[in-house]
Amino acid sequence: MTAAPPSEYVEQVLDVVDAIPPGRVMSYGMVAEVVRERTGSGSARTVGAVMARYGGAVPWHRVVAADGRLPPGHEDEATRRLRAEGVAFRGVKVAMNATRWWPGEPA
């Protein structure tokens, strides 16, 4: 069993995800990169672990795989929420080029 990420890391991940505007998405790796700039550590896997455990408190559906795949086991609900926000899709995946967002960019 893996140790839980430090609470500071969890807070940073949740803060980044909470800032993603409606209609935009970030990948797990993108979130990890922003958090790594702030804390000096982290990975896409760790972000995934944080989201699996604590993601219900933030707009979890706005965090997807780098190729646009939706959160495993939550694809239907994520698709529903993202489509309601106007997110573009290519088949069953999010169109990342059209919807990717970085903190500091306009929504």
Q: What is the pLDDT of residues 56-68, one digit of tens each?
A: 999 999 999 999 9
Q: Looking at the 3D structure of the chain, how many domains does it have?
A: 1
Provide the whole-model pTM.
Answer: 0.91
- What's the pLDDT at 1? 43
In a domain, 104, yes or no: no
For Cα atoms 61, 66, 71, give the angle at the middle one, nearest 5 degrees. Answer: 30
- Domain span including residue 36: 7-99
In a domain, 1, yes or no: no
CATH number at residue 12: 1.10.10.10
In a domain, 106, yes or no: no
DSSP string, 20-89: SPTT-BEEHHHHHHHHHHHHS---HHHHHHHHHHHGGGTTGGGEE-TTSPPPTT-HHHHHHHHHHTT--E
- Return the percentage of the chain with pLDDT > 70, whole number: 94
Contact 9, 50 (CB under 8 A): yes
Is the pLDDT reported for residue 90 higher than 70?
A: yes
In a domain, 79, yes or no: yes
In a domain, 105, yes or no: no
